[in-house]
């Protein structure tokens, strides 16, 4: 099934896909390798830039017990911090692993952030994948997908103000209504999927939006799964065109392709190394994955300590090239615009730009005007007034003593601009052009 099939079943009129607006958002993940508050410097400063320049949202994840993603154990806490320094940007959990929580706490905590942000929150629900995370709620691990789907319904009903019954310590069913009441009458919600077509279908049936990535799937794969999602929305009575598909892409936009490649190679390889077992599943590699008996091991049970360093480096080099060439937003604005257009044709509504994979914060901040250029050019021919898109003018900003500066002017740079840094970021001899050949 292709995106053309999705058009043919009535999801979009002919030619509309290319004219649909493409949102761009900030996505954080990180690695716990910075001291103190510097862990959150890019999150806060980057969110200000995205807020002031017409981007759509900022996403923070939920991760536990591992350096990979560990600055973000609770997206509600980071969301509250982001609410205090932004005035327009959507504030989203990407994702909330709901089976690790009680639905009452999800509804209560995010209602606080909805009030702090004046109605800008949304939640992407995930079922969880790392068994050790379920130390927090071990009883939910065995049936985590069912638990997530049940909790989505519970949280949405609590958000609307419905009373739901829960059992107290004495075995009594007590009907409660959560407080505080949120600003938004309905909770905008996404379902997170690593690529399972059934999850796309279930999200469509629920009327949910979708958050996904290119770890373990290609953009062509995503195109077909989006068609499944749109058809499921239509079959369930939801408007197939209004569901939003958000695609997370590792991102760095700069002055020249080779310069960007040279700059991001080592940081991205180090970032991928920190989650090597996931990488093995993504790359489909097994250069040294044979046990002594010759049986092929899975990424989950492989003993990485047995792998020679040169084998690990070979896998990282392969994965880097695949990411850089086909699975990320890397290079000049012109190069990245081509990738953005591919995403739009695939049916993607929003690109969530993951920026914190190891490039120094100063260089990431200095690169953001290049990314903003991609955002503007990707929407040059978008149809005005598309549902789900919000312009800067929709959000009047009030000056609050001690609060963030009000910057409605386009392209104002919230971080001290270092033009010399921008000029020298990609200077020096060009690296050998190394392009992955499938």
Distances (CA, A) of 343 to 17, 22, 213, 218, 365: 10, 9, 12, 11, 24
How high is the mean pLDDT of the chain?
81
Predicted pLDDT of residue 300: 46
Question: SS3 of 270, please?
Answer: helix
Predicted pLDDT of residue 72: 86
Predicted pLDDT of residue 34: 56
Mean pLDDT, rounded, for 46-69: 89
- Among 174-178, 287-291, 411-415, the range of highest mean pLDDT: 174-178
Category of 171 on φ-ψ map: left (φ > 0), alpha (ψ -120 to 50) or beta: left
**pLDDT confidence of 291, banded at 50, 70, 90?**
very low
CA 170 to chain centre: 41
Q: In this structure, are residues 159 and 182 in contact, taking their beta carbons and an 8 Å threshold?
A: yes
Predicted pLDDT of residue 302: 55
Contacts of 259 (CB under 8 A, 6+ apart): 425, 426, 427, 430
**pLDDT confidence of 309, banded at 50, 70, 90?**
confident
Question: What's the pLDDT tens digit per position in 320-330?
Answer: 998 899 999 99
**pLDDT confidence of 144, banded at 50, 70, 90?**
very high
Question: What's the pLDDT tens digit per position in 37-54?
Answer: 688 999 999 999 999 999
Category of 364 on φ-ψ map: left (φ > 0), alpha (ψ -120 to 50) or beta: alpha
Q: What percent of the chain has pLDDT over 90?
A: 63
CB-based burial of residue 318 (10 Å sphere; 0-12 exposed, 13-18 middle, 19+ buried)?
A: middle
Mean pLDDT, rounded, for 97-116: 98
Predicted pLDDT of residue 293: 34
Measured from the Cβ of residue 291, the count of other Cβ atoms closer than 10 Å reads 12
Question: What's the pLDDT tens digit per position in 375-422?
Answer: 999 999 775 444 344 333 333 333 233 333 333 333 333 433 333 332
Mean pLDDT, rounded, for 129-147: 92
Mean pLDDT, rounded, for 192-216: 95
Predicted pLDDT of residue 403: 37
Question: What's the pLDDT tens digit per position in 412-428?
Answer: 334 333 333 323 322 33
Domain boundaries along the sequence of the chain = 17-257+330-393+405-424
Q: Among 43, 57, 70, 68, which residue's Cα sits nearest to residue 124? A: 57
Predicted pLDDT of residue 315: 86
Predicted pLDDT of residue 168: 96
Question: What's the pLDDT tens digit per position in 80-95?
Answer: 999 999 999 999 999 9
Measured CA to CA, the distance from residue 60 to residue 384 in angstroms comes to 29
Question: What's the pLDDT tens digit per position in 115-129?
Answer: 999 999 999 999 998
Q: Domain 17-257+330-393+405-424, what fold?
A: TIM Barrel (3.20.20)
**pLDDT confidence of 4, banded at 50, 70, 90?**
low
Antiparallel, parallel or unpaired: β 173-176 and 164-167: antiparallel
| DSSP β-bridge partners for residue 248 | 213, 352
Question: What's the pLDDT tens digit per position in 348-376?
Answer: 999 999 999 989 999 999 999 999 999 99
Q: Among 48, 47, 42, 49, which residue's Cα sits nearest to residue 58? A: 47
């Amino acid at each position: 099934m292709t995106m053309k099939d999705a058009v043919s079943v009535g999801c979009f009129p002919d030619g509309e896909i290319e004219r649909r607006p493409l949102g761009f958002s900030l996505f954080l993940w990180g690695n716990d390798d910075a001291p103190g508050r510097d862990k959150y410097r890019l999150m806060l400063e980057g969110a200000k830039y995205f807020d002031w320049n017409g981007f759509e949202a900022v996403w923070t994840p939920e991760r536990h017990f591992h350096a990979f993603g560990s600055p973000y154990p609770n997206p509600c806490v980071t969301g509250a911090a982001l609410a205090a320094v932004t005035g327009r940007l959507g504030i989203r959990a990407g994702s909330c692993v709901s089976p690790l929580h009680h639905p009452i706490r999800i509804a209560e905590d995010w209602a606080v952030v909805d009030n702090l942000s004046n109605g800008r929150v949304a939640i992407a629900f995930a079922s969880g994948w790392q068994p050790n995370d379920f130390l927090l709620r071990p009883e939910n691990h065995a049936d985590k997908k069912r638990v997530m789907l049940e909790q989505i319904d519970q949280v949405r009903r609590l958000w609307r103000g419905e009373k739901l019954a829960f059992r107290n310590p004495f075995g009594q069913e007590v009907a409660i209504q959560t407080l505080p009441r949120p600003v938004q009458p309905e909770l905008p919600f996404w379902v997170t999927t690593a690529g399972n077509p059934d999850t796309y279908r279930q999200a469509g049936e629920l009327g949910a939006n979708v958050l996904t990535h290119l770890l373990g799937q290609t953009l062509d794969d995503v195109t077909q799964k989006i068609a499944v999602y749109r058809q499921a929305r239509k079959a369930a009575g939801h408007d197939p065109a209004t569901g939003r598909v958000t695609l997370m892409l590792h991102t760095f936009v700069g002055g020249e392709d080779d310069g960007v490649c040279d700059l991001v190679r080592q940081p991205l390889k180090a970032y991928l190394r920190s989650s090597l077992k996931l990488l093995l599943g993504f790359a489909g590699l097994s250069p040294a994955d044979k046990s002594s008996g010759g049986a092929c091991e899975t990424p989950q049970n492989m003993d990485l300590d047995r792998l020679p360093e040169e084998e690990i480096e070979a896998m990282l080099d392969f994965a880097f090239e695949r990411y850089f060439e086909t699975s990320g937003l890397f290079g000049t604005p012109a190069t990245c615009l081509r990738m953005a257009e591919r995403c739009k044709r695939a049916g993607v509504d929003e690109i969530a730009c993951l920026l914190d994979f190891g490039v120094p914060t100063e260089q990431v901040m200095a690169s953001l005007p290049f990314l903003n250029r991609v955002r503007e050019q990707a929407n040059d021919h978008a149809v005005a007034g598309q549902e789900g898109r919000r312009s800067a003018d929709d959000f009047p900003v009030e000056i609050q003593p001690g609060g963030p500066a009000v910057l409605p002017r386009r392209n104002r740079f919230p971080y001290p601009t270092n033009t010399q840094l921008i000029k020298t970021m990609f200077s020096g001899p060009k690296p050998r052009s190394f392009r992955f050949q499938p």
